[in-house]
Amino acid sequence: MEGTSRIKQLPEEVISRIAAGEVVENPASVLRELLENSIDAGATRIDITVEEGGKKLIKVVDDGHGMNDREIELAVRRFTTSKISSVDDLESIGTLGFRGEALYAIGSVSRLAIRSKRADEDIGYEGYFEEAELVELKPAPIGAGTTVTVRDLFYNFPVRRKFLGSDYAEARRIIEVVTDYALAHPGISFSLRIDGKDIMNLGQASSPIERIEQIYGQDFIEETITLTSKFGEKLTIHGAISRPDRVKKSPLTQLLFVNGRRIRDNRLRAAIYGAYEQEKMHPQYILFIEVDPRFVDFNIHPQKKEVKFHRTLRMYEKLMKSVRETLNRSRTTYSHLGEMPTMRIVETPITHVGETGGRQMEIGEMQPRLQAEERREEIRDESTYIPEKIWQIHDSYIIAQVRSGFIIVDQHAAHERILYEKLRKRKYNTQNFLFPIVLNLTPKEFAVFQDISGILEGYGFRIKILSGRTAVVEGAPDIFKNPTKEIFLEIIDELQDVKSLPDRHLELLKTLACKAAIKAGDKLSGEEMNALLDQLFSCENPFFCPHGRPTVIKISLEELERKFARNL
Ligand SMILES: Nc1ncnc2c1ncn2[C@@H]1O[C@H](COP(=O)(O)OP(=O)(O)OP(=O)(O)O)[C@@H](O)[C@H]1O
Ligand SMILES: [Mg+2]
C-alpha cells in the first residue's frame, strides 16, 4: 500500500544551510574555525586580515603543513577530515577539529578560496568554492602553508546577514577571538589587521605568562599571581589569578581555557569566586585547564564553546582547591594583606527606618505612585527641607525631614544625576593631574579607547595616545575627585558592548557620572549632605538618575499616620 507522506527528505541545499547556521553564527565564529585549522596544521605564524567587521573579508595566512590539490578539494566536503577516522578516535581527540564540518559550513554561506602548498611538494594550488562546491582549481604560487579567504559572508543568507552587528561590534568580537587563541597558543606568532589598521602583532612567547604580559601588560602581571597545579597525569591547571588584595569592583578579565580553546562555564567561574570568598569583589583570572582528552567532551556544542568534564574528574572541586591553595600561599608573600577589602559594617544613627525586610517592601511599593507628575512637584516644593534634620543611614541613604513628612535620597543615584547634568552642560573645569595616569591596554580595550577618546576630549579630558597600545590621561574634569587607572578601565569595559556612536556618547556620559559619583558606603558630613540635596533639587530632572532609577522617595505624614493606624 502506498500512501502519501507529509514527511519528506529536505533538499541538500536546505540541509547545508541549516548545518552552516549552527557552526557559523558571525564573522568571529568563521575566524575561530579558521584559526583552529591553522593551529591543528602546526602553524608557527598566523596573519589575519579583516575588512568591514569580517562581513566583506576574512583572510587567514598560516605556515602550517598545507594541502595538495586533492586535499584542497576534499577539505570543503562535508564530514571530510584528516583528524579522526574511527569511533574510537572520537573518545580521545587531540586536535581542535574533528567533525570535518567547518570548511563545508563556511563554504555554504560565503565565497571561499583556499590556496595551499605542502612543504613536500613543489607547486601550490588555489581552489575557489561557491555554495561549498569547487568551481575552479588551478596552480598558484605560495610558500608552504595555507591561505584561506572568506568573502561576502552570508551573501546568500540575507536573514543571517541582517542579524549581524555593526562593523564595529563584529570587529570587537574578532579581536576577542584572536586574543583568546593567542593566549591559549603562546608559541604561535599572531598578527591582526582590521580595515588597514594594525590591531595586534605578537611575536612568539616562551610561556603562557609571557603571552599574557604581551597582551595585558606589566600591570596585569603585577596584580596577579601564578597558579600551577598538577593532578596526576590527567589534569593540569595553570595561569594567572588576581592577588587577593587586588580583586576588582567589576569583573574585568576572566578567561577560562580547556585544551587550547576558550570556554564558558558558570559553575567553574563560581568555583573560582568561592575560593576567593570576597563578597561583591571580582577576581581577574586567565586559567588554562589541560585535561586528558578522554575526560572531556567538546562534542556537546556546535561551536565547541561548552564542554562536559567526566564526572570522576571532579573539576569544580579541583579548580576551587587549586585557586584556594595558591591564594593561601600568596598570603605569606603579601604581608600587607591586612588592607584586604572587606565589607564595612557601620552603626547607623536611626536604624529603625528601612531596617526590616517587610518595611523595605512597603517603601518599594510606593515608588510607582511616586512617578506621578504632581507627586514630583510636591517633593520639589518640599525641597525646602530642614537642614538640621538630616541623617545618613547605612552610609548610603540620606533621610531628611520635609514639611509634610520625610524624604529618602539614594546618595549615589542623586550624585549621578547632579554630575550627569553638569557634564551635559559642561559646568566644571579641567584639572591637570599631578601624576598622569598611564593606561597599558589590551588590543580590545585599546580599540574601544581610541573610539571614545575624541568624546572624552570634548568633555575636557586631556589624553595622549602613544604607540604600543599605551594611552596617557593627563587631566580630567574636576568633578573627578579621585581619578584612578581602574576607573578608566571600568569605563572602557562598560562601553565595549555599546555599538552606535550616539548611544556610545550618551552611555559614556552616564558612565562618567556614575564613576565620579559618591558611592553607597561613602560617609558624608552634614554639610556634604546639605550640598548634595541643594544641588539635586536644582537639577532639571532631579527624580531619576541617568539610568532611570529613582533618586528620591517621599513618605508623607499622612502615610505614616495611616500605617500606624493613627487616623482610624
Ligand atoms: N589551514 C589548514 N592547513 C592544513 N590543512 C587544513 C587547513 N584547514 C583545513 N585543513 C584540512 O581540511 C580538513 C577539513 O577542515 P574542517 O575545518 O572542515 O574540519 P576539521 O578541522 O577536520 O573538523 P571541524 O569541523 O571540527 O573543524 C581538515 O581536517 C584538514 O585536514
Ligand atoms: Mg576545523
Backbone angles phi, psi at 445, to 5 degrees: -60, -40
121 and 191, same domain (yes or no): yes
Nearest atom, ligand 1, residue 145 CA: 3
Query: Is 349 contained in some domain?
Result: no
Tell me the mean pLDDT per 10 residues along the chain, length 568: 79 78 90 97 96 97 96 91 82 85 94 95 95 95 95 91 89 94 96 92 91 90 93 94 90 94 91 86 95 88 86 90 90 44 26 28 31 50 67 94 87 94 86 88 89 86 87 91 87 79 78 92 90 88 84 87 80
Q: Work out how many domains the chain is built from and give that number.
A: 3
Instruction: Indicate the residue among 202, 225, 250 that finishes a domain.
Output: 202
545 and 499, same domain (yes or no): yes
Please report the pLDDT score of residue 381 as a whole number: 59
Tell me, what CATH number does 447's domain have? 3.30.1540.20
462 and 385, same domain (yes or no): yes
Residue of the CA atom closest to atom 12 of ligand 1: 75
Name the strand (E) or helix (H) holding 363: helix 357-370
Residue of the CA atom closest to atom 8 of ligand 1: 37
Distance 199 CA to ligand 1 centre (A): 26
Please report the pLDDT score of residue 496 as a whole number: 80
Distance 512 CA to ligand 1 centre (A): 46
Cell reading at 356? 526590616
400 and 453, same domain (yes or no): yes
Query: Is 348 contained in some domain?
Result: no
Tell me, what CATH number does 116's domain have? 3.30.565.10
Query: Is 327 contained in some domain?
Result: yes
DSSP, collapsed to helix, strand or coil, labels residue 89 as helix
Give the residue carrying C-alpha cell 591582526: 192
Distance 101 CA to ligand 2 centre (A): 7
The 3-state secondary structure of 470-513 reads EEEEEEEECCCCCCCHHHHHHHHHHHCCCCCHHHHHHHHHHHHH
Pair 465, 452: CB distance under 8 Å: no
246 and 288, same domain (yes or no): yes
CA–CA separation, 398 and 354 (whole Å) = 12
477: region left, alpha or beta (phi > 0 left; psi from -120 to 50 alpha): beta
Pocket probe mutation, ligand 1, options 60, 62, 74, 81, max atoms within 8 Å of Cβ: 81
Please report the pLDDT score of residue 542 as a whole number: 85
Pocket probe mutation, ligand 1, options 30, 34, 37, 69, max atoms within 8 Å of Cβ: 37
Output DSSP code: residue 293. G
Query: Is 345 contained in some domain?
Result: no
386: region left, alpha or beta (phi > 0 left; psi from -120 to 50 alpha): beta
Query: Is 3 contained in some domain?
Result: no
Please report the pLDDT score of residue 361 as a whole number: 28
Residue of the CA atom closest to atom 28 of ligand 1: 81
> Residue 283 sits in which domain range?
208-331
Question: Which pairs count as long-range contacts for 328-331, CB under 8 Å and 24+ apart, including other chains?
Answer: 330/225, 330/243, 330/244, 331/244
Enumerate residues lining ligand 1, CB below 6 A: 33, 36-38, 41, 62, 64-67, 75, 80-83, 97-104, 146
Distance 83 CA to ligand 2 centre (A): 9
Distance 80 CA to ligand 1 centre (A): 8
CA–CA separation, 551 and 480 (whole Å) = 21
Instruction: Indicate the residue among 202, 233, 261 that finishes a domain.
Output: 202
192 and 291, same domain (yes or no): no
43 and 151, same domain (yes or no): yes
74 and 24, same domain (yes or no): yes
Please report the pLDDT score of residue 344 as a whole number: 25
**Structure pTM?**
0.66
257 and 186, same domain (yes or no): no
- Which among 557, 510, 552, 558 is positioned nearest to 535, based on CA atoms? 552
- Ligand (nearest to CA of 36): 2
CA–CA separation, 411 and 536 (whole Å) = 10
For 429, residues 6+ apart whose C-beta sits below 8 A from its C-beta are: 460, 477, 478
Tell me, what CATH number does 311's domain have? 3.30.230.10
Pair 460, 428: CB distance under 8 Å: yes
